[in-house]
Amino acid sequence: MKIANVDIFVLKTSLDHPFAFSQGWVHQRSATLVRISTDNGLVGWGEAFAQGLEPPEIAAAAIEHAFKPLVMGCNPLDTGVLWHKMYAHSRDFGRKGTIVSAISAIDIALWDIAGQFYSQPIYQLLGGAQRTRIKPYATGFYRVKGKHEASRLAKEALDHRKAGFCAMKVKLGFGIDDDMEVMSAINSALDDPSIELMVDTNHAYGRSEALTLGRALEAYNIRWYEEPVVPEDIASYQALRAQLNIPIAGGENEHTHYGFNQLFQLQALDIAQPDVGSCGGITAMQYITAMAHANGVQVNPHVWGAAIAQAASLQVIAALPVTHHSLFPTQPILEYDQSFHPFRQQLIDSAWAINDGFVDIPDSPGLGISVNMDVITEFCTE
């Protein structure tokens, strides 16, 4: 079996209602998708991470010019061989950021092909399912004005609960006073200690403000405090871990086992959050997970993007062992972004429904999805 073609699709659409996280206003939705076809008729899909401010054309150019020529004609079952080939080839201009996201997209597509070739879901190829369903958490609470939206965000929390969510992550980083106003309003509105809350500032603050916010948040039962400072500032991650009683999470802006190695060696994280669309794909996720376990760090993947990245995340999380085993261990939870994304659920034929507070993990071969080409045609820009 040989790779016969690599097609790249850049999807974009502008939002009627832009929204903000701490780093800026999101005006459009975008995705970089890759479709790998084999000479015997198999087709695998992959997706590169594209956060709200990231132009999807960068990953597309990296795939087209740097990686497609490397994998054409190769055996798609050589997931590890091709990962190292792509990483080594791009080391001098890559190692982080969108170049690794481009590798991730190809890697995911190769695993999709492998699953179909062996007629197994990807999690089976990763060692089997540690779980067949996963509790989702609602990521939301974006701003539409910028500040002073506490009462609207409290109502949003009630909407998430009504939709079946038992956990939610609140976007903070809009000034500590505003952040705490929001937390207080949400907590009062929910008035239910069984609802788990997480917070995420998207590295809005420096160490001192992050510590002040963290101390104020200790009044609430927070499952984790995500990206309190910029990813480069590992010393502040260490300091916050030492000084706060809330678990510190991060890693969505880190890449490969080489990048995570530093975070683990320096004991900077309680919870590592690699994103399958940017950490180096399913292959790198395995390496990162093994290293996290060896360093006593929990892994709870970051999940973003359109339906293909979500599907790949579900497969990875199915196979993810818990770090700290017990009769009642802390299980990973599924990030389920609730912001408007027209080519997320419409892109595949089956949506991720919440049943009884859980999302079932697809058990058909590969990623277990069927991609709707009409949606790609509608939103594809090149």
**Residue 121 DSSP code:** B
Q: CA 38, CA 121: separation in Å to the nearest integer?
A: 18
The amino acid at 165: F
Contact (Cβ atoms closer than 8 angstroms) between residue 216 and residue 176:
yes
Q: How far is the CB of 51 from Ca ion (least distance, A)?
A: 9
Q: How far is the CB of 200 from Ca ion (least distance, A)?
A: 4
Q: Is 17 tagged catalytic?
A: no
Q: CA 39, CA 46: separation in Å to the nearest integer?
A: 18
Positive or negative: CA dihedral 184, 358, 47, 294: positive
The amino acid at 194: S
Closer residue to Ca ion in complex, CB, 123/304: 304
End-to-end CA distance of the chain: 28
Q: CA 230, CA 227: separation in Å to the nearest integer?
A: 7
Q: CA 112, CA 307: separation in Å to the nearest integer?
A: 14
Q: Does 200 bind Ca ion (CB under 5 A)?
A: yes
**Residue 334 DSSP code:** E
Strands, sheet with 43-48, edge to edge from the N-terminal-most edge strand: 3-21, 24-38, 43-48
Q: How far is the CB of 21 from Ca ion (least distance, A)?
A: 8
Of 59-67, 196-204, 261-269, 285-293: span binding Ca ion (CB under 5 A) = 196-204
Of all residues in this chain, which one has the CB nearest to Ca ion in the complex?
A: 200
The active-site residue, picked from 302, 324, 325, 341, is 302
Q: How far is the CB of 146 from Ca ion (least distance, A)?
A: 19
Closer residue to Ca ion in complex, CB, 56/231: 231
Q: CA 2, CA 72: separation in Å to the nearest integer?
A: 8
Closer residue to Ca ion in complex, CB, 250/281: 250
Alpha-carbon radius of gyration of the chain: 20
Of 200-208, 240-248, 329-337, 360-368: span binding Ca ion (CB under 5 A) = 200-208
Closer residue to Ca ion in complex, CB, 339/372: 339
Q: CA 133, CA 355: separation in Å to the nearest integer?
A: 10
Closer residue to Ca ion in complex, CB, 60/100: 100
Q: How far is the CB of 252 from Ca ion (least distance, A)?
A: 5
Q: Which residues are catalytic?
A: 302
Site residues (vs Ca ion, CB under 5 A): 200
